[in-house]
Amino acid sequence: MALQERGSFRAEIFRRKPVTAPDEGGHGGLARTIGTFRLTMFGIGATVGTGVFFVMHEAVPAAGPAVIIAFVIAGIAAGLSALCYAEMASAVPVSGSTYSYAYATMGEIIAMVVAACLLLEYGVSTAAVAVGWSGYLNELLNNLVGWRFPDALSNSFAVEGGFINLPAVLLVALCAFLLIRGASESATINAIMVVIKIGVLLLFAAVAFTAFDSNNFADFAPMGAAGVTAAAGTIFFTFIGLDAVSTAGDEVKDPQRTMPKAIIGALVAVIALYVLVAVAALGTQPWTAFSDPEQGEAGLSRILENVTGTTWPGTVLAAGAVISIFSVTLVVMYGQTRILFAMGRDGMLPKAFSRVNPKTQTPVTNTVVVAVVVGLAAAFVPLDELWDLVSIGTLIAFIAVSIGVIVLRRTRPDLPRGFRVPGYPVTPVLSVLICGYVLSGLHWTTYLWFLLWLAIVMAFYLLWGRRNSALATGESAEERTE
Q: Which is nearer to other proteins, 53 or 149 (CB)?
A: 53
345 is an interface residue for other proteins by CB under 8 A: yes
Minimum CB separation of residue 223 from other proteins in Å reads 33
96 is an interface residue for other proteins by CB under 8 A: yes
The CA distance from 288 to 282, in Å, is 10
Exactly one of 103, 133, 341, 387 binds other proteins (CB under 8 A); which one? 341
4 is an interface residue for other proteins by CB under 8 A: no
Residues 423-452 that bind other proteins (CB under 8 A): none
Three-state DSSP string of the chain: CHHHHHCCHHHHHCCCCCCCCCCCCCHHHCCCCECHHHHHHHHHHHHCCCCCCCHHHHHHHHHHHHHHHHHHHHHHHHHHHHHHHHHHHHHCCCCCCHHHHHHHHCCHHHHHHHHHHHHHHHHHHHHHHHHHHHHHHHHHHHHHHCCCCCHHHHCECCCCCCECEHHHHHHHHHHHHHHHCCCCCCHHHHHHHHHHHHHHHHHHHHHHHCCCCHHHHCCCCCCHHHHHHHHHHHHHHHHCCCHHHHHCHHHECCHHHHHHHHHHHHHHHHHHHHHHHHHHHHHHCCHHHHHCHHHHCCHHHHHHHHHHCCCHHHHHHHHHHHHHHHHHHHHHHHHHHHHHHHHHHCCCCCHHHHCCCCCCCCCHHHHHHHHHHHHHHHHHCCHHHHHHHHHHHHHHHHHHHHHHHHHHHHHCCCCCCCCCCCCCCHHHHHHHHHHHHHHHCCCHHHHHHHHHHHHHHHHHHHHHHHHHCHHHHCHHHHHHHC
Exactly one of 71, 149, 334, 461 binds other proteins (CB under 8 A); which one? 334
Minimum CB separation of residue 357 from other proteins in Å reads 9
Exactly one of 52, 60, 89, 111 binds other proteins (CB under 8 A); which one? 89
Exactly one of 339, 395, 401, 442 binds other proteins (CB under 8 A); which one? 339
Minimum CB separation of residue 205 from other proteins in Å reads 24
Count of residues interacting with other proteins (CB under 8 A)? 50
Does residue 61 have a cis peptide bond before it, meaning omega lies within 30 degrees of 0?
A: no
- The single-letter DSSP state of residue 19 is P
Exactly one of 65, 132, 241, 283 binds other proteins (CB under 8 A); which one? 241
Minimum CB separation of residue 7 from other proteins in Å reads 30
Closest C-alpha to 321, from 48, 46, 40, 41: 48
187 is an interface residue for other proteins by CB under 8 A: yes
Q: Which is nearer to other proteins, 70 or 371 (CB)?
A: 371
185 is an interface residue for other proteins by CB under 8 A: yes
368 is an interface residue for other proteins by CB under 8 A: no
> How many CA atoms within 13 Å lie on the side-chain side of 329?
31
In the stretch 249-268, what mask flags binding to other proteins with x, by CB under 8 A?
-xx-----------------
184 is an interface residue for other proteins by CB under 8 A: yes
Exactly one of 359, 414, 452, 463 binds other proteins (CB under 8 A); which one? 359
294 is an interface residue for other proteins by CB under 8 A: no
477 is an interface residue for other proteins by CB under 8 A: no
Phi, psi of 222 (to 5 degrees): -65, -25
Minimum CB separation of residue 267 from other proteins in Å reads 14
355 is an interface residue for other proteins by CB under 8 A: yes
43 is an interface residue for other proteins by CB under 8 A: yes
79 is an interface residue for other proteins by CB under 8 A: no
465 is an interface residue for other proteins by CB under 8 A: no
Minimum CB separation of residue 358 from other proteins in Å reads 4
Exactly one of 206, 356, 455, 477 binds other proteins (CB under 8 A); which one? 356
The CA distance from 182 to 178, in Å, is 6
416 is an interface residue for other proteins by CB under 8 A: no
Stretch that binds other proteins, among 224-232, 244-252, 290-298, 457-465 (CB under 8 A): 244-252
Minimum CB separation of residue 349 from other proteins in Å reads 13
Site for other proteins, rule CB under 8 A = 22-24, 26-30, 41-43, 45-46, 89, 95-97, 122, 182, 184-187, 189-190, 241, 243-244, 247-248, 250-251, 331-332, 334-335, 338-339, 341-342, 345, 354-356, 358-359, 361-363, 479
